[in-house]
Amino acid sequence: MNQRYCLTQDLKDDPQLIAEYKRYHQKIWPEITASLKESGVEDAEIYLMGARMLMILEVNDYFSFEAKARADQKNPKVQEWEELM
């Protein structure tokens, strides 16, 4: 059975940076999508209200935040993406 997680984060309250963030998310790098799928993320949605981000993750039974974090640390493209974000 899938689980759903809702995560929030406050972005820098800078309209120019938020616009850039949105542009990047219009075309997510294929390596990032692959990384999410490989970790057990079945679906991800991001919503913005001002500078507050809400991310909803639907994950399978194999997903763990700890395993995802370890895999992300070893993945140079994920690290590059995270640095940009």
Backbone angles phi, psi at 3, to 5 degrees: -115, 160
Give the tens place of pLDDT for each residue, 13-58. Answer: 999 999 999 999 999 999 999 999 999 999 999 999 999 999 999 9
pTM of the predicted protein model: 0.87
Domains: count for the chain: 1
Range of the domain at 72: 3-84
CATH number of the domain that residue 43 is part of: 3.30.70.100
Listed residue (23, 39, 22, 20) closest to 78, CA to CA:
39
For residues 9 and 52, give the distance between their C-alpha atoms in angstroms, rounded to a whole number. 6
Tell me the angle at which helices 30-39 and 65-74 cross, rounded to the nearest 10 degrees.
140
Q: Provide CB contacts within 8 A for 74, sequence distance 6+.
A: none
For residues 72 and 44, give the distance between their C-alpha atoms in angstroms, rounded to a whole number. 17
Q: Which pLDDT score, from 0 to 100, does residue 2 have? A: 87
Q: Which pLDDT score, from 0 to 100, does residue 1 have? A: 67
* Mean pLDDT confidence for 1-7: 91
